[in-house]
Structure 1
Amino acid sequence: MTTFEFWFWLTAISLTVALCAWQSLGWWIARRFLYSDHRNFLVTQTPADRGINARKLRIELDGPHHLSAWLLSPSQKQSLHGACIVMVHGYDSGKDKVWSYPCDDGYRSSILDQGAESLWRAGFHVLAMDLRNHGESSCNGPVTLGARESDDVLATVEYLTQHADQLGIDPNRIGLRGESMGGATCLIAAAKDRHNRIAGVWVDSAYADAASAILDFLRYKNIPPLFGPPTRYWMVRMASVPLAQASPLDYVGHIDCPVFLTHSTGDTMLPCRHLHSLSDAPHWRRPPETWVLQSHQHNRLWREPDYHDRQIDFFRRVLCRNVPYRRSA
């Protein structure tokens, strides 16, 4: 073997090994992202932990699958004509999960803090659900970043519609509230809502397109962007869903209801450019309202002093026209 042949084959073998390692790590990251266990949480908080009575719901899906949820209902005197908000959590979360961050000492929050309790006290019915593969809902394939999870939201809206009288809900006054992946899921669900049952959507810190969100998440986890392409490739292969189907930017032209987008310039997981990409899209049927906050990290916008009042005000405007105003306690 000549010197040239030696170096040729050594280079070829090295490149092959490097390519296999590159693809293998992408496969491993994608596998962890799509198939990790999101149903067992170290710390949880239920409405009962705060002395609030909640009704447990089980929403049956096709086959053996189901969704778990709880419903907070105001008194008949306080109820805003049966208006109801569906709370949709983000990735690796759930209706009962308590979030904490090592970089944010002392921070603890659940979906109750993010709006469920304040909306309920303002007179709304509030349903908090677990998406498929999360919390107490059943496993149902891989996580799809909103593509199939949006069907869970629509199934929940359908459940509320079919049981409206029993639950004391007005089926014409149903809104969605989602954060992060849950916000993206709500936008996709609103676009797929062929019966116009969704009357308004509040979106907190959502991504505009799944492809760039994956790169942002890898960067947040200090994984080099070099591994973005194989990770995205394997996620598409494993989930059998094109990333475009998990990208709200491709759906906004089909949304008929009012939308409120909020994000923070301090978000290092999903940068605020996602809000601008969504709000600047030219094909909205009606331009969304936007609110850009400063300094808050991901999942923590609710700590802004007037966050809850703004959220309540939005849903009052879109769900409760001609209902007298009563500020929450």
Structure 2
Amino acid sequence: MADNGEIELNSWWVENDLSNPTIILLHGLTSSKHSPDILLPMGMMNKSNFNLLAIDMRDHGESTCEDGFYAAGQNETDDVVAAIDWLKAKGIAPSNIGIYGNSLGALIGLMTPAKTNDFNSLAVIDPPVDFKTLVREEMEFQNLPTFLWEPLYHYALVFERINMLKDIPVDALPKGNKQPMLIFTGMRSDRILPHHSDDLVNIAEQNGIEYEIHKYDDMGHTQILYFYTQEYSELLIDFYESTLSG
């Protein structure tokens, strides 16, 4: 439950050994926990007996449909906080909780330190970082004029009371506990352009955050885990085993 019980989050909980790492998996926009982008890394981590919590964020999948709109992570980060609180209630220490984010789920993970630091590491694949730039790039991809960003931003601010630029990663990550990050980037991604990962690296370096980045010149958006499956799995497992403790 999130928002004092107003939002019911439909989730899958896979419990193996609570002394092992526990990972919250965050899907992308218009997706859900049923996505292969979530199921495949779940399978990878399940083989290592990790505990896994894959959630449908609000307005996605089988969770509560609040208004049918994506809130640019402003409300969705509350879903992550609720997931972390649920894990803590099961006796899982924050030092043993990691976050895995796919595409816009990665953005939500990167924004989470603005609301809680009760997790210890974060892995992301093709993460957006600058939301304003992301929207303009998506408009260009859809052959729409980029100036539409301004009325869109003000509409959300005035009518939905959502500031889509609040607690974006450049502001959220400095509020964190320097949780280490693992970054995967497809250099041929046309949905989340690869410069976003470079922006994330710059933020990490400016704030003394340890990071590991892997770039794949021949991969499009979130394709890495399908074509470099074994390598991806090994890097992911090693990262969480080295950054999380029971």
- TM (norm. structure 1) is 0.68
**How big is the shift at 1:246?**
5.2
Q: CA RMSD in A?
A: 2.0
Structure with greater contact order relative to length (CA < 8 Å, sep ≥ 6): 2
**1:170 Cα offset (Å):** 4.8
Q: Which residue of 2 aligns with 1:177?
A: 100
Partners of 2:79 and 2:245 lie apart in 1 by 25
Matched, 1:244 2:165: yes
CA contact (8 A) 1:179 1:205 kept: yes
Matching of residue 137 in structure 1 with residue 63 in structure 2: yes
Q: Do the aligned partners of 1:262 and 1:291 also contact (CA within 8 Å) in 2?
A: yes
Q: 2:202 aligns with which of 276, 280, 299?
A: 280
* Superposition deviation, residue 94 in structure 1: 0.6
- 1:295 Cα deviation from its structure 2 partner: 2.3
- Code of the aligned partner of 2:134: A
Contact 1:144 1:239 in 2 (8 A): no
Structure 1 letter corresponding to 2:10: S
Distance 1:287 1:65 in 2: 34
Contact 2:153 2:163 (8 Å CA) reproduced: no
**What is aligned with 1:90?**
28
- Kept after mapping to 2: 8 A contact 1:255/1:285: no
Summarize the Cα distance change of 1:160–1:234 in structure 2 as closer, same or farther, 3 Å threshold.
Answer: same
**Is 1:267–2:192 an aligned residue pair?**
no
Q: Distance in 2 between matches of 1:190 and 1:236?
A: 22
In structure 1, the partner of 2:130 is 209
Distance 1:154 1:183, change over 3 A: same
Contact 1:207 1:248 in 2 (8 A): no
Which stretches in structure 2 are left out of the alignment for 5+ residues? none
Runs (4+) of structure 1 exceeding 6 A deviation are none
User: Are 2:25 and 2:53, in contact at CA under 8 Å, matched by a contact in 1?
Assistant: yes
| Kept after mapping to 2: 8 A contact 1:183/1:206 | yes
Change (3 A) 1:301 1:191: farther
Letter in 2 for 1:139: C
Name the CA distance, whole Å, in 2 between partners of 1:176 and 1:283: 22
Is the 1:262–1:290 Cα contact (8 Å) retained in structure 2? yes
Deviation string, structure 1 residues 129-175 (Cα, Å, up to 9, x no partner): 011111111022442111221111011000110123xxxx4553110
Alignment of 1:47-196 (within 5 A): 59=1, 61-74=3-16, 79=17, 81-97=19-35, 109-113=36-40, 115-141=41-67, 142-164=69-91, 169-193=92-116, 196=117
Q: Is residue 258 from structure 1 mapped to residue 184 from structure 2 by the alignment?
A: no
Q: Distance in 2 between matches of 1:80 and 1:309?
A: 21
Identity of matched residues, %: 23
- Conserved 8 A contact 2:186-2:223: no
Q: CA deviation at 1:258?
A: 1.1
Cα distance in 2 between the residues matched to 1:311 and 1:80? 19
Q: Is the 8 A contact 2:127 2:196 kept in 1?
A: yes
List alignment gaps of at least 5 residues for structure 1.
1-58, 98-108, 322-329
- Residue of structure 1 in register with 2:119 after alignment: 198
Q: Secondary structure at the match of 1:222?
A: coil
How many residues get paired? Answer: 241
Amino acid at match of 2:23: I
Could you give the per-residue CA deviations for residues 195-254 of structure 1, whole angstroms, max 9, x where no partner exists?
A: x42011001111111111111111222323243333333333343222321521222212
Aligned position for 1:290: 213
Bigger Rg, which one: 1
Amino acid at match of 1:124: F
